[in-house]
Amino acid sequence: MDVWELSAVLGKALVYIGMLAAIGGLLIIWLGRETAELVRLVVRRYMLPTALLGLLASCFVFVVLVGSVNQNGISGMFDPVIGGILRDAQPGTVLRWRLAGFVLTLLALVPLNLPVQLWQEPRVRQFSIAVLLAAAVCFAVGVGSHGHAAPEGLLAQFMASAHFIAIACWAGTFYPLYSLMLSRDIPAEAAARTAERFGQVGWGILGLMLVSGLTLIWQITAGPLSLMQNTHGKLLLVKLGLVALMMALGALHKFIFVPGLRTAIRQGDEEHIQDSRRLLARSIRSESLLALLVLILTATLTTVTGPGH
């Protein structure tokens, strides 16, 4: 892996973080919509900085690609001729979809960053959610229009977009849920209610993730046995193993940790409540580290390796 490929992998990982935060953050503020402090926390400490980071990282990935084609050092990253060619090709299309998504995300967050708490106003809530949904569509289309799924036809592109949305609705919620459990300003009842709601929609998210992911593997590889025959397949198996660990932790949350928090709340045991919230936070942090490794692997798979390697 040369410096251009390494830069592209790191840049793509940052772009993925920004996109996942926008979609996962939208899901959390909807699930915890009655809790103004949660909405404020998610928007200001998570969605806003990651959207700005993703916007900058998207531009960085594009100029790195220009530099890798030019092979003329840093100055080659800003070559107008090669930049114009790539702008009119697939990389330019992907860049436009990503920039549109991040700009729409930032637009949706404007009402939620004003001094007056406007989230409880139905029209403001509808506006922000509609714009964030439009941003999610832009991100999904951008994901489906490039990478290994693009040459495989519309079904593969649709499955790639659906797989991305499912992952974003899952992994993009880790930081908000982690902060929710540790926040002293958010009551335990609100934390438990939001976690329970996430558990209810989690089955649908996991179902979409599995169906779309397995369909993609079937379409872009020569079958399961071929995965052990090249670097791309082996990295893909490592990624699947990490996802399986994340799913196991998610099952612990739904069936053990969250019910334990709800039991502590019913009993009114404040010490037990705090212990349960900290336990959930530590588990979510572990799941977040696994998700970060998956993001880095995904960036590597779409940059350095491919089904043909």
> How far, in Å, CA of 33 to CA of 74, rounded?
46
The Cβ of residue 1 has, within 10 Å, a number of other Cβ atoms equal to 10
Say what the pLDDT of residue 149 is.
65
Say what the pLDDT of residue 2 is.
77
pLDDT at 138 over 50: yes
Q: Are the C-beta atoms of residues 96 and 58 closer than 8 Å to each other? A: no
Between 31 and 125, name the one with better pLDDT.
31
Contact partners, residue 263, CB within 8 Å, separation at least 6 = none
The residue ranges of DSSP E strands in the chain, in sequence order, are none
Which range has the top average pLDDT, 14-28, 118-132, 153-167, 224-238?
Answer: 14-28
C-alpha triplet 104, 148, 65: angle, nearest 5°: 65
> How far, in Å, CA of 194 to CA of 189, rounded?
9
- Per the structure block, which two tokens stand in for 181? 């459990």
- Tell me whether residue 184 is exposed, middle or buried, using C-beta atoms within 10 angstroms of its C-beta: 0 to 12, 13 to 18, 19 or more: exposed
pLDDT at 95 over 60: yes
- Tell me whether residue 156 is exposed, middle or buried, using C-beta atoms within 10 angstroms of its C-beta: 0 to 12, 13 to 18, 19 or more: buried
Separation in Å, CA 213 to CA 11, 87, 162, 279: 23, 30, 9, 30
Say what the pLDDT of residue 243 is.
85
Confidence tier at 307 by pLDDT (50, 70, 90): very low
Say what the pLDDT of residue 59 is.
96
For residue range 247-280, what is the model confidence (pLDDT) as tens digits? 888 888 888 999 999 999 999 888 999 999 999 9
Say what the pLDDT of residue 84 is.
93
Which residue segments constitute the domains of the chain, with CATH numbers given?
Answer: 3-301 (1.20.1630)
Contact partners, residue 178, CB within 8 Å, separation at least 6 = 281, 284, 285, 288
Q: Are the C-beta atoms of residues 197 and 274 closer than 8 Å to each other? A: no
Say what the pLDDT of residue 228 is.
64
For residue range 37-82, what is the model confidence (pLDDT) as tens digits? 888 889 989 999 999 999 999 999 999 999 999 888 888 898 999 9
pLDDT at 281 over 50: yes
- Angle of helix 174-182 relative to helix 270-301, nearest 10 degrees, comes to 160
For residue range 219-252, what is the model confidence (pLDDT) as tens digits? 776 555 556 666 767 777 888 888 888 888 888 8
Model confidence, pTM: 0.88
Count Cα neighbours of 265 within 13 Å in the Cβ-side half-sphere. 14
> How far, in Å, CA of 162 to CA of 164, rounded?
5
Please name the residue that has the structure tokens 């330019």.
92
- Per the structure block, which two tokens stand in for 137? 């569509």
